[in-house]
Chain A
């Protein structure tokens, strides 16, 4: 398969190099918000939205910075763009779906410090994706993040009923589950480069 094709970029970002389980980006929400399936799904969708908007914005910013020869400002301007995108998405959701806005609550502003989003912006620049490739990449990364969060929350809901030794309960158990999940995703490695 052609490595530049849109389908390949999507598949690669979504399952083969899954952002959470293979590249370790966005671990904090992955461990923090994966206790219940429905909050996990909502969080995933909000992250997907922010990723799409900030990826498009980062592409534009990069063009501007390149024309001024000021690439060292990349990091500072990306983080500013992401913080304002989060505000923007927050306002849009509040306007069009107040119920979703209430359900997401505190998780919405916390998306700013989600490293997966800054990761998307940085990777698309360093891999020199075109505009449409960047959007597909952000879509794939967001879908992969949602998938990982969804699977993890399902497993954690089940593990509530188990009775592990007291020491391993909590984060240690979640990390072990995540490790097994990550090994399962290694099975996709044969799909891509």
Chain B
């Protein structure tokens, strides 16, 4: 049982796809300008991760080694199309504001990375745990980015004003440049926490 808990929690912090493995940077930077967008993107990616993880893990003995990458990509693309239609049905506004980035989940290296490194080598149940952990780790990173950028950049949190009226929004944080700065800053914080944890353990 300890092993399956490990499968789940590994993706959340120790091997967080964004902060530690530096994968999936494009959606992290592009759609994190508001909290709602970040959460929608995170959940859509988690959905694709879980579904493709299950299918790839089930088919891991049928897919020939030579064409596995192509097969994975086709499976992922199918689920991304499904996710796109679901999102369109749930909320047309979020669908519009995420735009092409929903389709671009296909080329999110996190998904292909998990498919290749985990789902194609393990049974279904651990694959699901791994996918959920990784997906939540990704969503967590997106949420941190979205919250920081929205509060500083427009003075709101999920559309509700949280800053005092006298606060002048720092527009730069919702512009592309701010995305790079916030991500750099978050990496710095994560590095700091990890290195002080290591020092305490030693």
A179 B103 Cβ-Cβ under 8 A? no
B191 engages A26 (CB within 8 Å): no
Cβ-neighbour of A178 out of B85, B104, B180, B191 (below 8 A): B180
In the complex, residue of chain A having the shortest beta-carbon distance to the beta carbon of B112: A113
In the complex, whether B177 has a CB less than 8 A from a CB of chain A is yes
Interface string of B168-189 (1 = CB under 8 A from A): 0000100111111101110110
**What's the least CB distance linking B152 to chain A, in Å?**
14
Interface of A is mostly: helix
Determine chain B's interface SS by DSSP, over half rule.
helix
Please, how many angstroms separate the alpha-carbon atoms of A183 and B107 in the complex? 26
CA A115 to CA B78, docked complex, whole Å: 17
**Contact, CB under 8 Å: A172 / B188:** yes
Contact of B26 among A115, A172, A175 (CB under 8 A): A115
B51 interface contact, C-beta 8 A: no
Given A79-B106, A118-B107, A172-B188, check contact A126 B73 (CB 8 Å).
Answer: no
> Closest residue of chain B to A73, judged by CB?
B81
Q: Flag whether A63 is at the interface (Cβ < 8 A).
A: no
| A-B interface contact total, Cβ < 8 Å | 106
Contacts of B77 in A (CB 8 A): 75-76, 79
Nearest residue, chain A, Cβ from B84: A75
In the complex the two chains form, what is the Cα distance from A61 to B179 in whole Å?
A: 34
Q: Is A176 an interface residue (CB 8 A)?
A: yes
Contacts of B85 in A (CB 8 A): 72
Residues of A within 8 A of B84 (CB): 75
Chain B residues positioned under 8 Å from A183 (CB to CB): 172, 175, 177
Chain B residue at minimal CB-CB distance from A26: B26
Q: For chain A residues 101-158, which have a beta carbon within 8 Å of chain B?
A: 112-115, 118-119, 122-123, 126
Interface residues of A in 12-36 (CB under 8 A from B): 21-28, 31
Contacts of B179 in A (CB 8 A): 24, 179, 182
- Asked whether, in the complex, the Cβ of A179 is within 8 Å of the Cβ of B177, the reply is yes
Give the contacting residue for B183; candidates A75, A115, A123, A175; CB below 8 A: A175
Q: For chain B residues 40-99, which have a beta carbon within 8 Å of chain A? A: 70, 73-74, 77-78, 80-81, 84-85
Could you tell me if B26 and A27 are in contact, using CB atoms closer than 8 angstroms?
yes
Number of interface residues of B (CB under 8 A): 39
B103 cross-chain contacts in A, Cβ below 8 A: 75, 118, 122
The reply to whether A113 and B107 form a contact with Cβ atoms under 8 Å apart is: yes
| B163 proximal to A (CB < 8 A) | no
Which of B108, B184, B192 gathers the greatest number of chain A CB atoms within 10 Å?
B184
Inter-chain contacts of B191 with A (CB < 8 A): 167, 172
Interface pair B74/A179, CB less than 8 Å apart: no
Asked if A171 is an interface residue, CB under 8 A from chain B, the answer is: yes
Contact across chains for B25 and A179 when beta carbons are under 8 A apart:
no
Contacting pair B107 A76 (CB below 8 A): no
Query: Which 4 A-B pairs have CB atoms at the shortest separation, nearest pair first?
Result: A179-B180, A175-B184, A24-B30, A183-B177
Could you give 15 example pairs across A and B, Cβ below 8 Å?
A: A23-B30, A24-B30, A24-B176, A25-B30, A28-B25, A28-B109, A75-B84, A79-B77, A122-B100, A171-B187, A175-B184, A179-B181, A179-B184, A183-B177, A186-B176
Instruction: Give B contacts to A, CB under 8 Å.
Output: 22-23, 25-26, 29-30, 70, 73-74, 77-78, 80-81, 84-85, 100, 103-104, 106-109, 112, 172, 175-181, 183-185, 187-188, 191-192, 195
